[in-house]
Amino acid sequence: MKKYNLPVILLKGIVLLPQNTLKLEFDAKNTDNNVIDMSLLFHDNYILVVSEYDSHNMPKIGVLAKIENNLVLPNGNTRVDIKGLRRVNIIEFLNLNKIKEPLESIVSEIALVKVENEEIIINKLIKEIKSYVKNIPYISNSMISLMENEKSLDKFTDIVVPSLINNKEKILEYLNTTSPIKRGEMLLKDIYQEKERFQIERNIDLKIKQEMDENQREFLIKEKIKLLKEELGEQSNKESDVEKLRQRINSLKCPKKIKERLDFELSRYENGSSMSPEINVIRDYIEWLLSLPWNIFTKDNEDLKSVRAYLDKSHYGLEEVKQRIIEYLAVKKISNNNRSIICLVGPPGVGKTSLAFSIAKAMKRNFVKISVSGIKDESEILGHRKTYVGASPGRIITALKKAKSSNPLFLIDEIDKMSNDYYSDPASSLLSVLDPEQNKYFSDNYIEEDYDLSNVLFVLTANNIENIKEPLRDRLEIINITGYTEFEKLDIATKHLLPKLLKEKGLNEEFINIDNDTILKIIRNYTKEAGVRELERQLDKLIRKIVTQIVTNNIKINKVNIDNKVLEKYLGKEKYKFNTRTKSQVGVVNGLAYTIYGGDTLPIEVNYFKGKGDLILTGSLGDVMKESAAIALNYLKSNYQLYKINYEDLINNDIHIHVPEGAIKKDGPSAGIALTLAILSALNKIKIPNTLALTGEITLRGHVLAIGGLKEKAIGALRSGIKTIIIPQDNRKDLEDLPDEVRNNIKFILVKNFKDVYRVVQGVRK
Ligand code: ADP
C-alpha cells in the first residue's frame, strides 16, 4: 500500500468527517500557518486532519483533506476551507515533540471493500432518518436531498452523521470506524435511540403541560366556587360575622390600645379572602382578644375580720398560717409596693389548695388554678407566636379567660415540680408573671398586646422549697403548713371532712354517727400521711359503702352508727400497724426523717463482722448522709477510750449501716447522732429503747448541730409512739411551735455534744 508524507492539522475538540468541509482561520503568527503553506507549496493542497481527544494516545486514523479557497485577510490572518476526502491510516507522526517545527505524518490509504446490499441498506437508513427528522426542525432540506442522491454507503454515513449526531465523542467513533457497513449499523442504532429519547422528552413535556393546565383549572374552579358561594350568601355570612364582631368590639370594655388592635384585625378579617388560610388565624385571634376580661374587676371584701372568720370556719387550726395570710392582705391593701408573693409550702393534703380557695371565697374574688408541674418549656407559660400552626396563648392568659375577671385569686400549684433543665427555664418566665414591676405589662407571645396582671392575687404552692430556684424563691413569702397530729386530724375529720362529704352526697349531717375511737383507728391503721387527703378518701369510701348497702337492701333508716368493729368490712384489712414497734435491740436506733409526706421515724440498723475496718452503707443514702456516717465512725474511733470501745473491734471488722425502706431516698445531715449511737450500740452491745428517737447533726469533734423540720419530725414521732426525743440544744426555740399534744406526750432532751447523748442513753436505760 502506498505511503506518503503529509503536513498535519491537529484539531482539538472538533471532528472533521470525509464529505464535510471545515472553515478555519489561522493567526498570522501561528505555526499552523506554516502547515498550510507547506501543504500549498509541497503537497498539492493535500493535508491530513486529525482530531485529538487524548494527548497521550495519538489517533491511528485521520482524514485526508484538501485545502480550498485559501484567502489571506487584510490583518495577515489566513482563512481556508478544508474539505475532507477519505479516511487514511496514520503510520507515524513526525516532529511530534518539536514545538517550532510543523507537525507532519506518514500515512497509507485504506482499501475500500465492497458493500453487500448497499442500496437496501441506504434505503432503510433514508426511511428511518426521514421518519426521525420529521420531528427535528434543525435538519436542513439540502442535506436531505444530498442524502437521497448518494449511492455509496461509505459517503452516505459521513454526510448524515454530523447533522444527526451532536455528540463529539460519538462522531469520533464514526471517524475511527473504517467499515461502512459497521457505520451504517451504528447509525441505525443511534437513530433508534434518539427516537426513543425524543419520545421520552415529549412525554415529559406533555406531562408538565398537563399539570400546569390542571393547576390553572383548579384555580379557575376555586374562583368559580367562590363566586357561586357569594351568590348563595356565604359571603354575606362573613359580612354578618364582621358586623357581630364589630358590635362586640364596640361594647368591649378594654384599653384603647386593644380596641385599636381589634379594629385593625377586624379590617384584616373583613378584607381578607375567605380562601386564605390566614383568615382563620385572624378570626381566632379576634375571638381571644374579645374573650379576655380586660377591664372587668370584682369588688373585694375589704373587711379582713370577716375574711379571717371565713378561714376559721373553713379550716381547722393553722393559726399561724391564717394570721400570716391576713397580715399579707393587710399590707397589700395599704401599699402596692409589696413585691412578695404568698407561697404555701407543705406536704400533700395539708390544705394548701383548699385554703387558697377559701381566701378567694372570703375576699369575694374569682378563683383560678393552674398546675405547673412538669412544665419544661417557657412557651407553656408565655404562649406560642401566631406564626406557629395551631398556636395558642400560654397558661396564664388561658386561665385569665376562665377567671372572667382581671383580679382573680390565681393559684399556681406545685411550682417546685417545674422542670428546669439546661435548655429552658420556665421558672424565670414565671418571675415575669409574678413580679409586680414587670407584670403590669405582661406579654403573652400569642396575644402580643400587654395584659396588666398587677391586680391578680397570686398564691403559689410547693411541697419542698429546696427545689425552687433561688431568684424565684427570693420573691416568695413562704408560709409553711406542717402536718397535723392525730388529734388535729380527728378534729378535721369530725368538724370538716365528714360534714362536707355528707353534704356532697345530699345527706343529713347527722346521718352517720362515728365515734372518735373509730376515726382514730382509721387515722392510725388506714392512713400514713402528714395531711388528711387519704383520710378524706377513706371516709368517703366508708360513706359510699354504707349508702350503697342501705339503698340496695331498701332499708329505711335515718341514722347509722359506725364503730370499730365494722371498719374492716367497709375499708378492708388494716394497712398500717400502729405503735407495734419491734423490741428494743442492740444496734438498732430511731432517727427522724422529714419527707414530703411529713415527719417519720427512720430506723437505723448496724451490724459488724470480720473485715478491715471498712464502712458499708445501704438503703439509698444520699451523699450528705454517707458523710454523716463516715463522721460518726471516725468520731467513735478517735474517742474509743471514752466510750470503752474495744479498739480491735473497730479495726478488724467491717461495719455495715443499713437504713431500711431502701426504695425511699434519704438524705440530710440530721441523722448524725442517731448513726453514731447506732454504731456504738452495736459495738458495745447496748440495747437502745425503741421509744427513743434522736435527731441532730454531728461534727468530727462530737458537737451536735441544729436541724430543720423539728415540728414535722415530732408529729411523725408521736404518730409512731415515740416517748423521748433527743434534739440539739440549738433547736430549743422550736419547741414553742410544737402542738400541745406533742409537748404533752413526748419528752424532749436537749444535748450539746455526743457525750450528753451517751449520758442520756445510760440514764434512760437505768
Ligand atoms: P394540698 O393542696 O395541701 O395538697 P388540699 O387543699 O387538697 O391539700 O386538702 C386536701 C383535703 O383536706 C381538702 O378536702 C381540704 O379541705 C382538707 N383539709 C386540709 N386541711 C384542712 C384543715 N386544716 N381544715 C379542714 N380541712 C382541711
Residue 248 CA to residue 34 CA, distance in Å, equals: 97
Q: Which residues participate in catalysis according to the annotation?
A: 670, 713
**Residue 367, SS3?**
strand
Which residue, chain included where needed, has cell 409526706?
Answer: 597
Ligand 1 atom closest to the Cα of residue 497 is 26
Based on DSSP, count helices (H) and strands (E) in the chain, helices before strands: 27, 26
Atom of ligand 1 nearest to the CA of 344: 3
| Structure-block grid coordinates of residue 604 | 437505723
Contact 274, 237 (CB under 8 A): no
Residues 6 or more apart in contact with residue 10 via CB below 8 angstroms: 50, 51, 52, 103
Q: Per-residue pLDDT tens for 331-351? A: 888 876 677 889 999 989 999
Average pLDDT along the chain: 87
Ligand 1: residue whose CA is nearest its atom 21:
351
Between the CA of 355 and the centroid of ligand 1 the distance, in Å, is 7
What per-residue confidence (pLDDT) applies to 32?
A: 64
Task: Answer whether 692's CB lies under 8 Å from 718's CB.
Answer: no
Candidates 238, 234, 252; CA nearest to 282 is: 238
Q: Select from 607, 720, 604, 606 the least CA-distant residue to 670.
A: 604
Residue nearest to ligand 1 atom 5, measured at CA: 351
The residue among 664 and 306 whose pLDDT is bigger is 306
Determine the atom of ligand 1 nearest the C-alpha atom of 532.
12
pLDDT in tens, 598-631: 678 888 999 999 988 889 998 888 888 999 999 9
Residue nearest atom 19 of ligand 1, based on CA coordinates:
351
Q: What residues form DSSP beta bridges with 495? A: none
Separation between Cα atoms, residue 453 and residue 439, nearest integer Å: 5
| pLDDT tens-digit series, residues 716-757 | 888 888 999 999 999 999 999 888 889 999 999 999 999 999
Query: 3-state SS string over 249-286?
Result: HHHCCCCHHHHHHHHHHHHHHHHCCCCCCHHHHHHHHH
User: Would you state the pLDDT for residue 765?
Assistant: 54
Contact by Cβ (8 Å): 105, 90:
yes
Fold observed for domain 3-109: 2.30.130
Residue 408 C-alpha to ligand 1 middle, in angstroms? 21
Q: Relative to the CA of 535, which ligand 1 atom is closest?
A: 12
Give the model's pLDDT for residue 634.
93
Q: How far is the CA of 348 from the centre of ligand 1 (A)?
A: 9
pLDDT at 651: 87
CA–centroid distance, 312 to ligand 1, in Å, is 13
pLDDT at 135: 67
Q: Which residues line ligand 1 (CB under 6 A)?
A: 315-318, 348-354, 492, 496, 531-533, 536
Please write the tens of the pLDDT for every residue from 202-260: 888 888 888 778 888 888 887 777 777 666 665 567 888 899 999 999 999 999 999 99
Residue-range domain boundaries for the chain: 3-109, 118-209, 214-291, 304-480, 486-571, 585-765
Rounded CA separation 118/154 (Å): 9
Q: In sequence order, what are the beta bridge partners of 657?
A: 606, 617
Residue 713 CA to its chain's centroid (Å): 40
> To test ligand 1's pocket by mutation, which of 350, 480, 597 has the most ligand atoms within 8 angstroms of CB?
350
Domain 304-480 - what CATH class? Answer: alpha beta
* Ligand 1 center–CA 420 separation, angstroms: 28
* Ligand 1 atom with least separation from CA of 354: 6
pLDDT in tens, 65-84: 999 888 888 877 888 899 99
Q: What is the pLDDT of residue 739?
A: 86
HEC profile of 8-19: EEEEECCCCCCC
Q: Is the pLDDT of residue 673 over 90?
A: yes
Query: Hey, whose CA ends up nearest to atom 18 of ligand 1?
Result: 351
Q: How far is CA 401 from CA 105, 407, 465, in A?
A: 97, 12, 30
What does the pLDDT read at residue 430? 87
Three-class SS of 416-467: HHCCCCCCCCHHHHHHHHHCCCCHHHEECCCCCCEECCCCCEEEEEECCHHH
pLDDT 10s digits, 412-469: 999 988 876 656 677 778 888 988 888 889 999 999 999 999 999 999 999 888 778 7
Best substitution site from 532, 538, 596, 597 to test ligand 1's pocket, by max atoms within 8 Å of Cβ? 532
Q: Which atom of ligand 1 is nearest to the CA of 461?
A: 2
Gap between the Cα atoms of 330 and 231, Å rounded: 64
* Distance (Å) from CA 305 to ligand 1 centroid: 22
The residue whose C-alpha atom lies closest to atom 16 belonging to ligand 1 is 354
pLDDT of residue 467: 78
Closest residue CA from atom 20 of ligand 1: 351
Q: Among residues of the chain, what percentage have pLDDT more than 70?
A: 93
CATH 1.10.8.60 fits 486-571, yes or no: yes
pLDDT tens sequence across 523-569: 988 988 889 999 999 999 999 988 888 888 877 777 788 888 888 88
Each residue of 638-653: pLDDT tens digit?
999 999 999 888 889 9
Fold adopted by 585-765? Ribosomal Protein S5; domain 2 (3.30.230)
Residues 656, 678: Cα–Cα separation, whole Å: 11
Predicted pLDDT at 665: 66
Distance 532 CA to ligand 1 centre (A): 6
Please say if the pLDDT value at position 680 is more than 90: yes
Q: Please give the distance, rounded to the nearest whole angstrom, from the Cα atom of residue 737 to the centre of ligand 1.
A: 21
Give the residues across from 94 on adjacent strands. Answer: 104
Beta partners for residue 457, in sequence order: 409
DSSP label at residue 671 = G
pLDDT tens string 182-206:
999 999 999 888 888 888 888 888 8
Query: Which residue among 323, 354, 501 is best mutated to probe the pocket of ligand 1, counting the most ligand atoms within 8 A of its Cβ?
Result: 354
- What are the Cα distances from residue 622, in Å, to 128, 595, 607, 629? 91, 13, 20, 11
Pick the residue whose CA is nearest to atom 17 on ligand 1. 351
φ, ψ of residue 209 in degrees (nearest 5): -60, -40
486-571 shares its CATH topology with 585-765: no
